[in-house]
Amino acid sequence: MKTGAGIAIGLAVALAAGGGYWLGQRPAASHPEPSVAVATTSVEGMKKERKLLYYRNPMGLPDTSPTPKKDPMGMDYVPVYEGEADDEPAAANSIRISTDKVQKLGVRTEAAELRALDKQVRAAGRIEIDERRSFAISPKFEGYVERLHVNVTGQPVAKGQPLFEVYSPELVSAQREYTIAAQGVDALKDAGSEARSGMQQLAESSLLRLRNWDISEEQIRALAKSGASKRTLTFRSPVSGVVTEKKALQGMRFMPGDTLYQVADLSSVWVVADVFEQDIAQVRTGA
């Protein structure tokens, strides 16, 4: 009985050893481990779920392609799959800004509402005189400044207000010539037509010279009425405004064309503003 049991035990050990040797000699690929097989199946499933959308330019240019291709530099276009995060705005056809950039740009958000959309344009500017309302007082003859009625820059003046008085030998001579010619016309009214016509032409030429020198009609009428020439002539403001420039000094000599005063009408002025190019479309008359 003991001998038979020992033989049975020895035979079982021999069979176990032989079976282990046989299993060890079989190829490993024919017996994949369960965990490896599951992992492989999961990866294959993920690959099958990915859907190719298009290929984008590798340099971020706004160019996409449905098929693989290369850019002019020989670089391959990058594939973009569905659900894949893409930081290239050209590939996603949208603008994506990171949180850091949003904070640096100062982007603000608010609730949507129905209202008129407008924009305020702020620009640095300066006030300037309307060039069409600026007048220069420049005598057309040589003379001297005898007296100043307005002697401060920035002083407001009314139209017709005296500014200064001048003395000019040429002006005195022209006045005497006109008064003599006017008196001669009256004296020769009963004379022959030729003599009366010559004196009339002399009076008209003298009167034209005074008018060319900007002598007012009121002063000419006073000269014709009195028949006596005046030593000085008063220059008056041609417009109501403010004296913006004063070069006249009492006793100074001036030459024809010298600007002694400049008066500007400030009832309407210009605003000259420097507007950026991108805001030019927002600037309109009356806006």
Tell me how many domains the chain contains: 2
| For residue 145, pLDDT beyond 80 | yes
Q: What is the CATH number of the domain that holds 170?
A: 2.40.50.100
How far is the C-alpha of 187 from the C-alpha of 185, rounded, in Å? 5
Residue 151 domain flag: yes
134 and 269 together in one domain? yes
Is the CB of residue 55 less than 8 Å from the CB of residue 70? no
Is the whole model's pTM more than 0.85, yes or no?
no
| Model confidence at 253: pLDDT above 90 | yes
My answer on whether 253 and 176 are in the same domain is yes
**pLDDT at site 29:** 43
Q: Which two tokens stand for residue 246?
A: 């004063």
User: Are residues 91 and 239 in contact, defined by beta-carbon separation less than 8 angstroms?
Assistant: no
When pLDDT is averaged across residues 156-165 and rounded to a whole number, the result is: 93
User: Which is more confident, 84 or 231?
Assistant: 231
147 with 239, same domain: the answer is yes
Choose the final residue of a domain: 71, 90, 109.
Answer: 90
Contact 129, 265 (CB under 8 A): no
pLDDT single digits (tens) 7-23: 454 444 445 445 555 44
**Among 60, 90, 120, where does a domain finish?**
90
- Inter-CA distances, 224 with 134, 187, 197, 198, Å: 32, 15, 19, 19
Query: Do 64 and 137 fall into the same domain?
Result: no
124 domain residue, yes or no: no
Q: Please, is 129 exposed, middle or buried when counting C-beta atoms within 10 Å of its C-beta (0-12, 13-18, 19+)?
A: middle
What percentage of the chain exceeds 70 in pLDDT?
Answer: 76
**Last residue of one domain, picked from the residues 68, 90, 112:** 90
State pLDDT tens for residues 84-110.
654 544 444 556 667 777 778 887 888
Domain hosting 67: range is 52-90
The closest alpha carbon to 142, from 168, 106, 104, 164, belongs to 168
